[in-house]
Structure 1
Amino acid sequence: MDEIYCGPAPTPATLPASWNTDAAAAVLCLLLIALYAMRGERDRRAAFALAVLLVAALFMSPLCALTAALFSARAVHHVLLVAVAAPLLAASFPTRSGGRPRGLALLVALHGLVFWAWHAPALYDAAIRSPGLYWLMQLSLLGTGVLLWRAVLRDTRTGAALLVLLATVVQMGFLGALLTFAREPLYQAHFLTTAAFGLDPRQDQQLAGLVMWVPAALPYLAAALYLAFVRLGAGTAEPRAG
């Protein structure tokens, strides 16, 4: 079997020592820090620090190695990337207050398409075995996620922002449901790597589907509640159409 990015699949015994020292992850963090130094909001240091620490953990900690063994760990990895790291990064850089971002529906569709495409079994298996494709997968997920969250933060139309969050939850949950109820395991790369963790490949895939279906929705629902509380609770008027 070809080696999966982040190293060989660990076992529970070897997992704690499975830190990733790949230079690309360090370069990504350094580029984010440089970009923040040039253009970041100085009063958002805490959000940015959390974002960079999370990105570093996703690609350098044993969680990265665990994604080589378990597709469910990959699901957790991707959810943290698009639903936690992405909004923290989006909030760390200035957005023009107010306005109606153009192409909002297209942006939602693009992010959903990117998320679904990289979870297509053939493309997924290719991506985790090729450093170039692997980083294209990760950066496209993070990049479209940041763009989506920036649009949510910028749009003064509370209803539109909530619809964007709802649409993202629905598409991710639908993919999760498909994985949960699939009759056969779909991801060949994990056929021989799950047993050490007490799971067969189908159980691992079902767990990944549940992660996308339920826990993945929580950051979006929390953001929706926050926006509704801050904007509607503060009496923010919705712009009139026209």
Structure 2
Amino acid sequence: MGEWTLESAWLAYCGAPPAPGGAGWNRDPWLGAALVAGLALAWGRAADRRALLAGWAVLALALVSPLCSLSVALFSARVGQHLVILLAAAPLLALGLPAPRREAGPGGIAAAAACFAVLLWIWHLPGPYSATFRSDLAYWVMHLSLLGATIWLWRGLLLAAATRPEAVLPAGLATAAQMGALGAFLTFAPRSIFPPHEYTTLAWGLTPLEDQQLGGLLMWVPGGLAFAGVALGALVVAMRRGRFAA
């Protein structure tokens, strides 16, 4: 499992693993300043200010709410934080941030789906995952790379959904499949694979393996269903337009 002790947990950006009832809000002033500055920079060129504001609010909530603290203790909380960012904040930001007028073609959407898949799997390998608990730089590289890739993917899916549904369908299905595969792997793994949570879950009534299984289920079901729903919507649009007619 690697060497990991409670004494080293203070290195995590979100603090030491909390006990039940002890999870607090993230009051990092540098994060607050970065969120305000980022919103101000994007506001003047926003494609949709309401979507931008909603997406930024969800992103800020995921980063400053007790989810940040809980994610130090529980892998399932870290997955929950990721899902809030990737499935709620990212599509809103994809609609709200300045975007190229030209919609993405099949190649661009496929590239975005591939980039998202690679990053999602990399950051859920034991080594890179553990690095985010030892290094603030790794923590923010994880969040920013996943957020950027997911905005890229959602932008392609949402912009092309009405006009190029045949490009959206395979990307949506592939993304749902790979998220489901990762979730299933984590759910059915015979042992826990994340050293940072080896000693942090028992206070919450979960073994490390049970916590990992819960996180896997969250990624498998809500994550997979979100992108499967996009693919299904694209299929319905395509069938109505006769794109897949015999």
Question: TM class, shorter-chain normalised?
Answer: 0.7 to 0.9
Find the counterpart in structure 2 of residue 29 from structure 1: 35
Distance in 2 of aligned mates of 1:124 and 1:27:
26
Secondary structure (helix, strand or coil) at the match of 2:44 reads: helix
Pick aligned residue for 2:77 from 73, 77, 88: 73
Gaps of 5+ in 2: 1-6
Find the counterpart in structure 2 of residue 12 from structure 1: 20
Matches within 5 A, 1:1-242: 1-2=7-8, 3=10, 4-15=12-23, 18-41=24-47, 44-93=48-97, 94-96=99-101, 98=103, 100=105, 102-155=107-160, 156-227=163-234, 231-232=237-238, 238=243
Cα shift at 1:102: 3.8
Distance in 1 of aligned mates of 2:201 and 2:60:
25
CA contact (8 A) 1:95 1:150 kept: no
The 3 A distance-change label for structure 1 pair 219 and 95 is farther
Alignment deviations for residues 99-140 of structure 1 (CA, whole Å, 9 cap, x no partner): 625433222111100110011101110112211110000000
The 3 A distance-change label for structure 1 pair 23 and 73 is same
Cα shift at 1:237: 6.9
- RMSD between aligned residues: 2.2
TM-score by length of 1: 0.87
The 3 A distance-change label for structure 1 pair 140 and 98 is closer
Find the counterpart in structure 1 of residue 4 from structure 2: none
Aligned residue pair count? 233
Moved more, 91-100 or 114-123: 91-100
Distance in 2 of aligned mates of 1:185 and 1:224:
32
Cα shift at 1:24: 4.0
Distance in 2 of aligned mates of 1:216 and 1:24:
30
Letter in 2 for 1:32: G
Distance in 1 of aligned mates of 2:32 and 2:133:
19
TM-score by length of 2: 0.86
Distance in 2 of aligned mates of 1:179 and 1:190:
14
Letter in 1 for 2:51: A
CA contact (8 A) 1:180 1:208 kept: yes
CA contact (8 A) 1:32 1:52 kept: no
The 3 A distance-change label for structure 1 pair 27 and 103 is same
Distance in 2 of aligned mates of 1:79 and 1:117:
16
Gaps of 5+ in 1: none
The 3 A distance-change label for structure 1 pair 152 and 95 is farther
